[in-house]
Amino acid sequence: MLCYAYSFGQFTTCAAAAAGSPMTNGSCLTNQNAATAVPAANCGGGFNSGVGFFYPFVAGSCPQFTLTFNAAEEVQFLLWNNSCTNIAGECSEAQANVPIFESFSAASTPALTSGTTYILEIVTKTTSNFSICYQANQAEAANNECSGASGLSSTGATFNNGGNCSYTGSGTDATTSDPAASTFCAGSLENTLWTKFQPVAGSTSIQIIGSGINCGGPVCAWQFGLFSGTCAGLTPEGCISNGNPCTSGPDPNSSSTAPAGGNGTYLLTWNSISATGFTGTITQTGGLPFTGTEVFYLAMDGNANSDCQYTLSGTNIQPLPIDLISFDVQVYENANMLIWEVASQTNNDYFTLERSTDGMTWDLVATIDGDGTNNTQKKFGYVDDRRTETLNYYRLKQTDFDGNYQYSGIIAADNNKGVAAVIKRVNLMGQEVDENYDGLIIELYSNGDIRKVQKN
């Protein structure tokens, strides 16, 4: 990856960062060396005295940093304005080579203003190398559409529909591809998130259990729709919503619909409806057993773009080797970052990441070890710095210990680049020079590329 710390400055003071060039949307810095420091004690003990590193950035609608450490690391984020007044602080625990995310939005505390320069300080307990990438905006997560639906299991998994600036969020959710809002017991759709499940063959009923539902926003309300069939031909089977989730106990304002027989095959009943949960039971007419080939989708929409966290589980649901919550790609100047998150793993030997330029012929990008059987939600990531400068397709293959495997849906990254022009040349002292300068220089290109060049 051709990213150099010099281009933006790995600044050791906030004042220097405020006077320097900010990170641009889609830029990455590699081989950063964290410094131990504790300018504010909001992360507790264990930090040594010293300095952190400061990164100026221009806020967009969804400012987000992605950090990947080469070792497990506790990191402290400190947010400063361009006058070097500390305005926020947060702590995070990182695993080695597993991306962590720090996001801000107009709705966060403090609220950030799009187009304004801010400064993020990185402080760690130990001195370790890391990469940092910045995006002012982000693409929609795969599971915000039916075709990328995450799997459900009997053990349960926690989901987040995202709202406007969460990593799994849907700031650009294409709701025009969703079913009608009325099938969610809703008046409008803003940010849906899809899950998928199949019954155990021979079972006569399925229970879907929603619990721990907690939505932010002034209305903090949720809406779920149940569907059968395929993404190309969904049949509404019923929906449920709440009206006042900010109060505890049974929700007197909740509503639910269960079409009589749905499509004539399935029956749905709701019970245990409260401000934070529900239970839905699916059976076949006549009490017939399921064959195990039936497919159901449960999709959630946050009322008025509410950002909701919730747990879903079920009974008589086929076990999944992995519960894939999301599989996404973030495009940076010289690399693509692939990120996937699983809710649980069963006999998971390894993942294979594959890339294609035509969607038909696939090449191996990397093999990443799985965790066997593990019910802990976990993120995985890989930086592909060997991509082609074209449209790149990616898919994820998961292989069990017994050799069985399954593929994810296909995602794409547009890496087409036009002819780039040199817009600036600087020497290692930061002084601008022309094309006749002799020595080592940094060239900045119109497409965001940065190159180190030896001029004779």
| Helix residue spans in 80-136 (DSSP H) | none
Domain 324-414 has CATH 3.30.70.360: no
Q: Does domain 5-135 have CATH number 1.10.530.10?
A: no
CB atoms within 10 A of CB 366: 14
Three-state secondary structure call for residue 437: coil
pLDDT in tens, 134-176: 877 655 566 777 877 777 877 777 777 764 444 333 344 556 6
Would you place residue 279 in the very low, low, confident or very high pLDDT band (cuts 50, 70, 90)? very high
- Which tokens hold the place of 91? 């702590």
pLDDT single digits (tens) 391-425: 788 888 888 887 767 777 677 787 876 555 677 78
Say what the pLDDT of residue 246 is: 57
Confidence of residue 210 (pLDDT cuts 50, 70, 90): very high
Task: Report yes or no: 2 and 449 within 8 Å, Cβ to Cβ.
Answer: yes
- Return the minimum-mean-pLDDT range out of 59-68, 88-97, 195-204, 270-279: 88-97
Q: What angle do CA 329, 340, 94 make, to 5 degrees?
A: 105
Topology alike, domains 142-315 and 324-414: no
Q: Tokens representing 285? A: 């007419």
Q: Return the CA Rg of the chain.
A: 24
Report, as an integer, the average pLDDT of 366-388.
Answer: 86
pLDDT for position 157: 75
- Express as a percent the part of the chain with pLDDT over 70: 74
SS3 175: helix
Cβ count near 183 (within 10 Å): 22
Residue extents of the structural domains in the chain: 5-135, 142-315, 324-414, 422-455
**How far is residue 156 from each of residues 33, 249, 267, 324, 376, measured CA to CA in Å?**
39, 22, 23, 12, 10
Tokens of 443: 């060239």
Beta carbons of 43 and 91 less than 8 angstroms apart:
yes
Q: What pLDDT, in 10s, does the model give residues 58-108?
A: 887 667 787 777 777 777 778 889 998 888 776 666 656 656 666 665 445
pLDDT band at 207 (very low <50, low <70, confident <90, very high): very high
CATH class, range 142-315: mainly beta
| pLDDT of 316 strictly over 80 | yes
Of the pLDDT bands very low, low, confident and very high (cuts 50, 70, 90), residue 305 is low
* DSSP 3-state of 15: helix
